[in-house]
Chains A and B, each alone.
Chain A
Amino acid sequence: MTDREHGANEPAQPRDGIDVRHDSDARRDSDAVPSALTAGAELGGGAGGRGAGGGRRKRRRGRGGEELMVPDVTFASYYGRPILQKPKWETLDIAGYLFLGGLAGSSSVLAAGAEATGRPALARACKVGSLVAIAGSAVALVHDLGRPERFVNMLRTIKPSSPMSVGSWILATYGPAAGVAAVTNVTGWFPRIGRLATIGAAVVGPAVAAYTAPLVADTAVPTWHAGHRELPFLFVSSGATAAGGLGMLAAPVAQAGPARRAALVGGVTEVALTRYMERRMGLPGETLRQGRAGQLMRAAELLSLGGAVVGGLGGRRWRAAAVVGGLAALAGSACTRFGIFEAGVASTQDPKYTVQPQRERLQRRAAAATAGGSHSSETQDGKADGWVA
């Protein structure tokens, strides 16, 4: 039974004389499912049936031809329906926030460095940029609430178990600091308070850029959680790309050296980490290559690398290259965030991303238990065989 489900990885040898049902059955069954069902049903198979996931999909994409492909995986589902809820978060609000938060937090670090090293134009650009980005974040976050008027309930408690609670406190610290840093810089009022706020924003800024990774990864969304180790590093490098892009775009060439280096290193790291994470994720990683998310991730790669090369290298000499590279870096960072967000949403809509990794985990545990001589639930699962949808 379980051998059949994971036929691609395991020898398809029936255990305990269990019959291996031909996969064509599963196909016929699910083809009989009324078209009133959602697209997920076509991927997942019939009522409690064993749908052939990847294989059939590939076949369909291949001009809908009749050539048979060996299905690489099969799994059971409830009429192909998703197991998880679709994230309630609006893409524009939350993916937008992931981008703006990273931009703001990283820009505050650049601003403090620029101020300390006598680059006033870069400092001003980064401070104003941080304020605009964090104000935009606040608007997006409050707008995304089901009850926006209750946003202040976020500060009702402190819960280390909730990245959103921790993040609310980080933002409540960072926002005012970034605001004061920008306003005092532009107006020239209270320079000493301004310097303090600049340092404060630079210290808390990296936390703003980094905490959004646990925020999305601490969910049952397969793609987001599968990247929980890599996402913090990916998100801060994406933040550095964006801040570098902003600095190149807004500051004169003579002062923008640190911004160029940030965009160069950030962009290359961002792309490298994305590829690394995608490979380590296993099955859910394919959502980063498919559909809208796939388009966004490919665009992100081109734009971030392009921004790094054009702006980071060419921007040294030509202002035009700095502007083009800066815009590309900003866009690349945004595409990374939107792509990861969309991939996560897509991974909740197909039950295979929930079922298959969990099945494989159970199988590994069962194998370990068998090696240890104990009885496992996996053997029990085999006993339902023979009943099909």
Chain B
Amino acid sequence: MAFDLASFLRSDDPPHAGGYDDPAPRVGFFTDTSVCIGCKACEVACKEWNAIPEDGLEFTGMSYDNTQHLGASTWRHVAFIEQRRPVGAPSSARGGAAGGGTTVDLGMPAAPGEQAADEGAQPGVVDRSGLRWLMASDVCKHCTHAACLDVCPTGALFRTEFGTVVVQEDVCNGCGYCVSACPYGVIETRKDDGRAWKCTMCYDRLGAGQEPACAKACPTDSIQFGDLDELRARAEARVQQLHEAGVPEARLYGHDPDDGVGGDGAFFLLLDKPEVYGLPPDPVVTTRDLPVMWRNAALAAGALLTGLAATFLGRKGQ
């Protein structure tokens, strides 16, 4: 049997299920940002359920987002982005339908006034001011090939039977390797406590057959929890529906099992490019380059040994 170096240099990825004999179906989040209303119920529910300490009471002044970024004490983060369509800007790929600003009825409850404005326009299309808000609840991606898990030297990070990635707080010694390894900038160490913390996808609730607190609290089902296969199918259908409804910018992020991290356990439907939301456009798990790195390190070590040995070839006293 051929020895596969690349997979030897990987830790427990879902294909081999973290060594579980009888793993549960892999679960995940599908966060449909097109119906997010930015209420931050997910942030609050997460904090409450997981008893996460305060993470700074700061006023950023940049938007309604004072949470700013995922971190040791922020496991859900709602991003706010305000965008406008400049007056007279030619429409992009919307054909001739979009003039100044049009939005599409995404199935959200509408105020009576809006419905009146709707008359005469295309069905489902509401004419407004050319302003739009993007809101998106970010979370740990629970990658298929998780860099944090790969590099953890103590084994504190592990793959659960649900295919999620969790830190064992009684093992973590706060080396901080996972912090630099994560291509999404999710995991972080807590200053006062020293250890690394991140979303557990409510491991305790999953074990009891409950859905994670954020998904439970989400009032618009923007955060959907379930079996990953089912969520992926649901997401494909949703993005198709939005494209047909005239929202061509809708796209999935992190759904592709062939991407740089083997697909995310928590993936998203976005309405703009990922970096607009603070997400990396093409993240990769850097351990996939480990074979090259170890090979070059071995060559370099050999070169150092022979090179330094060669310095003794000269005559003594020289």
Contacts and interface: CB of A to CB of B under 8 A. Distances in A.
Interface in B135-176: 147, 150-156, 171-176
Nearest to B180: A219
Given A36-B60, A78-B278, A218 B289 contact: yes
A40 B170 CA distance: 36
A19 B92 contact: yes
Contacts of B315: 257
B316 A220 contact: no
B203 interface: no
Interface in A56-90: 75-79, 81-85, 87-89
Given A81-B69, A150-B173, A261-B311, A159 B301 contact: no
B176 A87 contact: yes
B273 interface: yes
B83 A76 contact: no
A5 B315 CA distance: 60
Contacts of B8: 160
Contacts of A232: 293, 296-297, 299-301
B84 interface: yes
29 contacts: A37-B62, A47-B80, A48-B81, A77-B278, A78-B79, A84-B180, A84-B183, A85-B185, A88-B179, A106-B304, A109-B304, A110-B311, A113-B311, A144-B175, A146-B174, A154-B175, A159-B153, A161-B9, A164-B151, A165-B153, A206-B304, A220-B147, A220-B283, A224-B180, A236-B304, A240-B308, A254-B317, A354-B280, A385-B93
Contact of B251 (A218, A220, A377): A377
Interface stretch (A182-190, A207-215, A290-298, A332-340): A207-215
Contacts of A210: 297-298, 300-301, 304
A383 interface: yes
B216 interface: no
A162 B150 contact: yes
A213 B312 contact: no
* Complex A-B, nearest 7 residue pairs according to Cβ-Cβ distance, in ascending order: A146-B174, A146-B194, A78-B278, A88-B176, A150-B173, A206-B301, A232-B300
A361 B282 contact: yes
Nearest to B272: A384
Interface of B: 8-11, 59-63, 68-69, 71, 79-86, 89-93, 98, 132, 134, 147, 150-156, 171-177, 179-190, 193-196, 248-249, 251, 271-273, 275-283, 286-287, 289-290, 292-294, 296-305, 307-309, 311-312, 314-318
A120 to B, nearest CB: 12
A127 interface: no
Contacts of B92: 18-19, 382-386
B132 A387 contact: yes
Contacts of B80: 47
A135 interface: no
Nearest to B309: A113
A380 B251 contact: yes
A164 B175 contact: yes
B310 to A, nearest CB: 8
A320 interface: no
A209 B309 contact: no
Contacts, number: 338
Nearest to B58: A36
Q: From DSSP, what is the main secondary structure of chain B's interface residues?
A: loop
A212 to B, nearest CB: 9
A52 B82 CA distance: 19
B300 A36 contact: no
Contacts of A157: 153-155
B173 A154 contact: yes
Contacts of A150: 154, 171-174
A379 B311 CA distance: 57
Q: From DSSP, what is the main secondary structure of chain A's interface residues?
A: helix
Given A88-B188, A146-B194, A210-B304, A21 B181 contact: no
A286 B312 CA distance: 38
Contacts of A36: 59-62
Contacts of B172: 146-147, 150
A17 interface: yes
A16 interface: yes
A257 B277 contact: no
A240 B307 contact: yes
Contacts of A117: 312, 316
A138 interface: no
Given A382-B93, A387-B83, A162 B151 contact: yes
Interface in A280-306: none
A195 to B, nearest CB: 16
A240 B304 contact: yes
A19 B91 CA distance: 8
Given A214-B294, A258-B308, A164 B153 contact: yes
A163 interface: yes
Given A21-B89, A218-B287, A382-B92, A147 B195 contact: yes
B167 to A, nearest CB: 12
Given A78-B277, A243-B308, A387 B179 contact: no
A85 B187 contact: yes
A389 B81 CA distance: 7
A150 B98 CA distance: 60
A355 B281 contact: yes
Contacts of A33: 62
B11 A159 contact: yes
A153 B182 CA distance: 21
B204 to A, nearest CB: 23
A386 B89 CA distance: 7
Contact of B297 (A47, A75, A211): A211
A97 interface: no
B282 A88 contact: no
A383 B248 contact: yes
